[in-house]
Amino acid sequence: MKRAFLKYTMTVFLGMLFSVFVLAQTVPPPVAPPVQPPSEPYISISPDYFYTMEEILYLEGRANPNAIVTIQIRKDAGTEKPINFKVKADASGEWVVAEKTYLSAGNWQVRARQQVGVLVSGESNPRVIRSVVTGVNVFGLNIRYVAIAGIILVFILAIFFVFIYFRRKIAHLQKGLMEKQLHETEERFHRGFAEIRQELMDELKALATNAEGRPMTTEEVEKRDRVLRELESLEQGLDHDITDISKRY
């Protein structure tokens, strides 16, 4: 009877071991809770209007402490390539972007996402920046419209002063040439007048010689008066012509 009891006990023990083994094989292992990605970072400061030729783009926000924050700036319309900045948040989660960059005129959307370890968050709500261009970008060189206007103004003034200089130079040359021509004309008038006056004086002398010792006849008196009138008219005409030439020049 003792042997039967031992046999029964062993059978029950082995059955219990078998049941525990089967139960261990059928119970599923514990499932780890799913890993949640970090929340989206927050953009707290961004400009409403950005004068891209004059200002530094300044953005500020919050994220998880020491997270890597990627900021992307995309234009609302067009095919321009997005601009990306990558910064690291400090121990309190604050991050800052302060960069000199060029944004063409129009509306740009700013979005941010953060990376904590290998986990990446979704994008933040967009902030809109209106870029205002006050110049042109030539081969990466920003030239403001004010500078262009100044260059054009200087160019116009230079042309104006060059025009004035050459105009005065030409006027001076013309005046010198006219004065020379006037002087030559006066000399010709004086020579011609001197010749005519000499002829008239010779006629008066001839009349005086013929009438010497006797009264002048009526014909001689008329001739003398005519010569004197012609001489006076010639002198007046010469003065008038010289004055008229001087006024015209």
The burial class, CB within 10 Å (0-12 / 13-18 / 19+), for 2 is: exposed
For 153-188, the pLDDT digits (tens) are 899 999 999 999 988 888 888 777 777 777 777 777
For 72-109, the pLDDT digits (tens) are 999 988 788 999 999 999 999 999 999 999 898 999 99
The CATH class of 42-133 is mainly beta
pLDDT at residue 74, rounded to an integer:
94
Structural contact between residues 132 and 49, judged by C-beta atoms closer than 8 angstroms: yes
Structural contact between residues 60 and 49, judged by C-beta atoms closer than 8 angstroms: no
pLDDT at residue 140, rounded to an integer:
66
pLDDT at residue 47, rounded to an integer:
95
The owner of tokens 């105009």 is 167
- Burial state string for 19-28 with b = 16 or more CB within 10 A and e = fewer than 16: eeeeeeeeee
How many angstroms separate the Cα of 167 from the Cα of each of 2, 119, 156, 175, 177? 145, 78, 16, 12, 15
Pairing of strands 127-132, 49-51: parallel
Which is more confident, 142 or 20?
142
Alpha carbon 207 to chain centroid, angstroms: 89
| Average pLDDT across the chain, whole number | 80
Long-range contacts at 84-92 (CB < 8 A, ≥ 24 apart): 85/59, 89/41, 89/62, 89/63, 89/64, 89/65, 89/114, 90/65, 90/66, 91/65, 91/66, 92/65
Structural contact between residues 124 and 112, judged by C-beta atoms closer than 8 angstroms: yes
The CA dihedral of 176, 181, 183, 188, to the nearest 10 degrees, is 170
pLDDT at residue 198, rounded to an integer:
72
Global pTM reads 0.51
Structural contact between residues 103 and 73, judged by C-beta atoms closer than 8 angstroms: yes
Which is more confident, 73 or 223?
73
> What are the extents of the domains in the chain?
42-133, 160-248
230/46 Cα distance (integer angstroms): 100
Strands (E), 39-103: 42-45, 49-51, 57-62, 68-75, 83-88, 94-99
For 12-22, the pLDDT digits (tens) are 666 666 665 66
pLDDT at residue 42, rounded to an integer:
93
**Nearest 5 degrees, angle CA 169-CA 171-CA 172?**
65
Strand partners, 74: 109
